[in-house]
Amino acid sequence: MEDLLAIAVAVLTACGVFLILRARTFPVLLGLTLLSYAVNLFLFASGRLRLGAPPLIRAGASYTDPLPQALVLTAIVIGFGMTAYLAMLALRALAESGSDHVDTAKERCQERSKDPR
């Protein structure tokens, strides 16, 4: 099972990094999402993988470490919020400049923005 999880993390990370390096905002957004999935799986595995063990500590019973699960939950919430904000920002850039490229159209950018202070 460890091998399977390791392969999943690796594939997700590779796809995420590849997409982040694309030049348009939508693939970048997807790439960040994939990367955060990989990170969440990785965090989950840091408490070791155990089958059929609840994350509840009781005397005598077998249990799995509950802390990484709490960490993953926090990371999911934060990552979700950040991604939603980035999606809004990308949409706004698209609406303002008419392009979803991450860093082109500099001239048009200077031309169209009225130099806000």
Binding footprint of other proteins on the chain (CB under 8 A): 20, 25, 28, 32, 35-36, 38-40, 42-43, 45-48, 67-68, 71, 74-75, 78-79, 81-83, 85-86, 89-90, 92-93, 96-97, 102-103, 109-110, 112-117
Q: Can you say whether residue 74 is alpha, beta or left, with left for phi > 0 and alpha for psi between -120 and 50 degrees? A: alpha
CB of 9 to other proteins, least distance (A): 10
Residue 82 vs residues 2, 11, 95: alpha-carbon distances, Å: 30, 23, 20
Smaller CB separation from other proteins, 50 or 112: 112
CB of 95 to other proteins, least distance (A): 9
Q: How many CB atoms lie within 10 A of CB 117?
A: 3
| Closest listed residue to residue 15, CA positions, set 2, 40, 32, 3 | 32
Smaller CB separation from other proteins, 53 or 96: 96
CB of 52 to other proteins, least distance (A): 21
CB of 28 to other proteins, least distance (A): 6
**Residues 80, 102: Cα–Cα separation, whole Å:** 21
